[in-house]
Structure 1
Amino acid sequence: MLRSFCALSMLCLLAASSFAEGKPDRLPNVILIVPDDMGFADMSSQGAKGLSTPNLDRLAGQGTRFTSFYVAQPVCTASRAAFMSGCYPNRVSLQGALNHTSKNGIHPDEYLLPEMFKDLGYATAGMGKWHLGTVLDFWPTRNGFDEWFGTPYSNDNTKYHPVLADEMPPFPLYEGEKVIELDPDQSLFTRRITEKAISFIERNQDRPFFLYLPQIMPHVPIFASESFRGRSERGLYGDVIEELDWSVGQLMRTLDRLKLTDDTIVIFFSDNGPWPSYGEHAGDAGPFREGKLTTFEGGVRVPCIMRWPGHIPADKVCDQPIMAIDLLPTLARIVGGQMPTKKIDGLDVTDVLTKTGAKSPHEALFFYAGTELQAVRSGKWKLHFPHPYITPAGEPGKGGKPSNWGNNQAQSITQSGIRGIASRHGGRVEEIDLSLFDLSSDPGETKNVAGQHPDVVARLKKLAEPIRADLGDSLNGVEGTGIRAAGWVK
């Protein structure tokens, strides 16, 4: 016990020495809130229509909004694998999204964010959707979490699935490693997660803690509790977002009440963009093109707020391009944590978070869909390589059904690959040619200027060559040399 206390005290000093101003007198707590499929423009501070988010607005006023914050892939499992490991998901072989039949998951040898905190003596807890492995070998409690309350995969892998409902088993809710309910009332998820989170904070207020809240909403099917149903002008989707905003407010008030606000880093971002095919039950990507399952800005650029009083500037907007893979190395620097021994792709962006005017250390960010290297961003420029993508088909979805529902239902079960995904979720497959966009003047990626800037195209192509060789690219038949295996069970 004495050795642990001394080690923790030394780490506090190391963490404090990293900051010239406002040195912390203890290791900061970290709360990571990740809603599922929330759109860039689903917050009032970013142009939300028909809904109100006063608590997120308050959080933004006390912290910084990062308006060029990206996830590594525009889909659930891949996105989570990336920010948990600090790697592009292709490096750890977790592209796409796992489901109830999956036998793979995050490899036990990968060193994840919660393990880094646990090794420092933090109390660790997660509540919400895990999605990095459905079997216990890959479970949160085997990957650094002391406590877990939540579900193994997405809430549409249930009796609510628009196409495959009859094939779905009962939806399990876990406490630790035990199933405590089957097919729980989904309208209570946000409230129950919030209550569990507050209890964890109260029980660990005298020691550093890491609290991970991968909220289950607003992934379809969407539900709001009785207290929030019918409150929003945006319909049920707006009700769901307003309840998530309420949850953030409850957490912030708990920190205030326990006098932990100044000692806590709060990070809020969505796991990917909204799912346009679901129409009125989907979020709003704002000025950006497309959404979830695509590498256009609407799929990978997500709302993000970070607050740490005295360190992260208040009431600021930062447009420097950074990615969720940067969280692990950044937080490791802040708290003096151990870095993974295996290669990662994220970079330390502490200066971007804490210093006005600091530049992103990334020369380029790369965007995969599955095993396809589809796009690269460098500075204001984004280059798309020729690739297929999914876009909504027909009329927008209604009532929880995807767009073009009647036409797609019959064929969706038999089709596979990208066309099967599109068919099951109300989309059609289109193709984009080699295209260059200036995101500073064209955030919607509508004007291909590749012909006017061949030098920029050549530079971005060259930047992509090393990552293509390292992580592969099925569009070009390239097998990556730096790919590590996922975990598997028989």
Structure 2
Amino acid sequence: MAFFNDLQAKRPNIIFILADDLGWAELGCYGNHFNETPHLDRLAKRGVRFTNAYASAPVCSPYRAAFLTGQYPARVGILDYLRPNSENGLSPSHLTLPEMFRDAGYATGMIGKWHLSGYKYHGATKVVRPTDHGFEWNIGSEIKGVGNGANFWPYIFRTQPIRWLDLPDQKLGRKEYLTDRLNHEAVQFIERNKSKPFFLYLSHYAPHSILNGKPELVAKYRKKHVPGKSTRERCYLCQDAGFKGDPQNHWAGDHNPHLGAMLNSIDDGVGLIMEKLGSLGLDQNTILIF
């Protein structure tokens, strides 16, 4: 979905927000009554919904490569998600969207998940970073394999601090939620570049598994729905979210409190971004795409 007003004569700002592994039916504007997405719903109401669109790929790396290059994944040689030790990556020989914006005088920034390269930590000898593709500023991208997804509160995974993020001053083991931090970085980027056109790519790790929402939001969604019986022998959504006794205490995919909480945090960020654009008078000259 996208939102824009009548663009002024000056070049518009572009913000592209990507949620990782999110189904379209999880949003309120598409009929979901469990998850709360008021800011995204407002974006959809005021803008354009892409209801007859097709993704270039159903998995991570190929889609990201296609988005940045405007080419089919086969054209750039990325047909599956890249493993941590992959020698493949998005070659700098391919012209990308941020390079074009940069060369046109835009400030270019990327926040969050990259997943278009292998990592030195895992033995890859060729590493491609966002800054190799026209992003002048980058924060929060992974520097080693993220394993089974990453949406941690705090930055802890299976009792171990998360050290795969290029994220300065992260509060390891303290009360800082990753999605909130990425949202904050986006707002700060807008503030820093308010006087010139900018292209911002906000790439969330959420709500990809493992499911791990902010505790206070998880508690809110737990109160909204009682778990029911499941015919599944094993539910990985429940397992990732840490629910005991599956399948007896099953949470279906469309009313999982951790998933709802994670999406809630993404939606909060959309609200903060729209608020910041409005306060700076940039909302009339910004194209916001989710």
Classify the TM-score, shorter chain: 0.7 to 0.9
1:25-52 superposed Cα distances (whole Å, 9 cap, x missing partner)? 2110000000001111111110113121
Q: Is it true that 1:42 corresponds to 2:26 in the alignment?
A: yes
Q: Is the 8 A contact 1:104 1:133 kept in 2?
A: yes
1:138-160 superposed Cα distances (whole Å, 9 cap, x missing partner)? 100111111111233545168x9
Give 2:165's aligned residue: 173
User: Amino acid of the residue matched to residue 44 of structure 1?
Assistant: G
2:83 & 2:67 partners in 1: Cα distance? 20
2:38 & 2:170 partners in 1: Cα distance? 33
Determine helix, strand or coil for the equivalent of 1:266. strand
User: Amino acid of the residue matched to residue 196 of structure 2?
Assistant: R
Q: Is the 8 A contact 1:85 1:113 kept in 2?
A: yes
1:75-129 superposed Cα distances (whole Å, 9 cap, x missing partner)? 0001101111111101110111112212221011101111111111111111110
Q: Is the 8 A contact 2:6 2:285 kept in 1?
A: no
- How does 1:449-488 map onto structure 2 within 5 Å? none
Q: Is the 8 A contact 1:99 1:154 kept in 2?
A: no
1:22 & 1:267 partners in 2: Cα distance? 15
Structure of greater relative contact order (alpha carbons < 8 Å, 6+ residues apart) = 2
1:65 & 1:245 partners in 2: Cα distance? 16
Give 2:140's aligned residue: 150
Determine helix, strand or coil for the equivalent of 1:105. coil
Aligned in 2, Cα 1:226/1:157: closer, same or farther, shift over 3 Å? Answer: closer
Q: Is it true that 1:110 corresponds to 2:94 in the alignment?
A: yes
Q: Is it true that 1:128 corresponds to 2:120 in the alignment?
A: no
2:36 & 2:149 partners in 1: Cα distance? 30
Q: Is it true that 1:229 corresponds to 2:218 in the alignment?
A: yes
Q: Kindly, what percent of the aligned residue pairs are identical?
A: 37
Aligned in 2, Cα 1:196/1:22: closer, same or farther, shift over 3 Å? Answer: closer
Q: Is it true that 1:219 corresponds to 2:200 in the alignment?
A: no
Aligned in 2, Cα 1:154/1:49: closer, same or farther, shift over 3 Å? Answer: farther
Of 248, 253, 256, which residue of structure 1 is paired with 2:278?
A: 256
Determine helix, strand or coil for the equivalent of 1:213. strand
Instruction: Give structure 2 stretches of 5+ with no counterpart.
Output: 120-125, 225-254
2:173 & 2:134 partners in 1: Cα distance? 26
Q: Is it true that 1:210 corresponds to 2:232 in the alignment?
A: no
1:191 deviates by 0.3
Q: Is the 8 A contact 2:161 2:172 kept in 1?
A: no
Give 2:68's aligned residue: 84
Q: Is the 8 A contact 1:155 1:221 kept in 2?
A: no
Give 2:287's aligned residue: 265
Give 1:239's aligned residue: 261
Q: Is the 8 A contact 1:128 1:151 kept in 2?
A: yes
User: Amino acid of the residue matched to residue 62 of structure 2?
Assistant: A
Give 1:347's aligned residue: none
Instruction: Give structure 1 stretches of 5+ with no counterpart.
Output: 1-20, 269-490
User: Amino acid of the residue matched to residue 203 of structure 2?
Assistant: P
1:180 & 1:83 partners in 2: Cα distance? 30
Give 1 or 2 for the bigger CA radius of gyration. Answer: 1
Aligned in 2, Cα 1:251/1:169: closer, same or farther, shift over 3 Å? Answer: closer
1:61 & 1:188 partners in 2: Cα distance? 29
Determine helix, strand or coil for the equivalent of 1:151. coil
1:226 deviates by 3.9
Of 99, 106, 109, which residue of structure 1 is paired with 2:83?
A: 99
User: Amino acid of the residue matched to residue 243 of structure 1?
Assistant: S
1:40 & 1:127 partners in 2: Cα distance? 22
1:186 deviates by 10
1:394-414 superposed Cα distances (whole Å, 9 cap, x missing partner)? xxxxxxxxxxxxxxxxxxxxx
Q: Is the 8 A contact 2:21 2:207 kept in 1?
A: yes
1:58 & 1:191 partners in 2: Cα distance? 20
Q: Is it true that 1:33 corresponds to 2:17 in the alignment?
A: yes
1:186 & 1:140 partners in 2: Cα distance? 28
Number of aligned pairs?
239
Give 2:37's aligned residue: 53
- How does 1:345-384 map onto structure 2 within 5 Å? none
User: Amino acid of the residue matched to residue 146 of structure 1?
Assistant: E
Determine helix, strand or coil for the equivalent of 1:134. coil
Determine helix, strand or coil for the equivalent of 1:118. helix
Query: What is the TM-score normalised by the length of structure 1?
Result: 0.45
Determine helix, strand or coil for the equivalent of 1:30. strand
User: Amino acid of the residue matched to residue 215 of structure 1?
Assistant: H
- How does 1:264-303 map onto structure 2 within 5 Å? 264-268=286-290
Aligned in 2, Cα 1:44/1:155: closer, same or farther, shift over 3 Å? Answer: farther
Query: What is the TM-score normalised by the length of structure 2?
Result: 0.75
Give 1:188's aligned residue: 177
- What root-mean-square deviation, in Å, do the aligned CA atoms of Structure 1 and Structure 2 show? 2.8
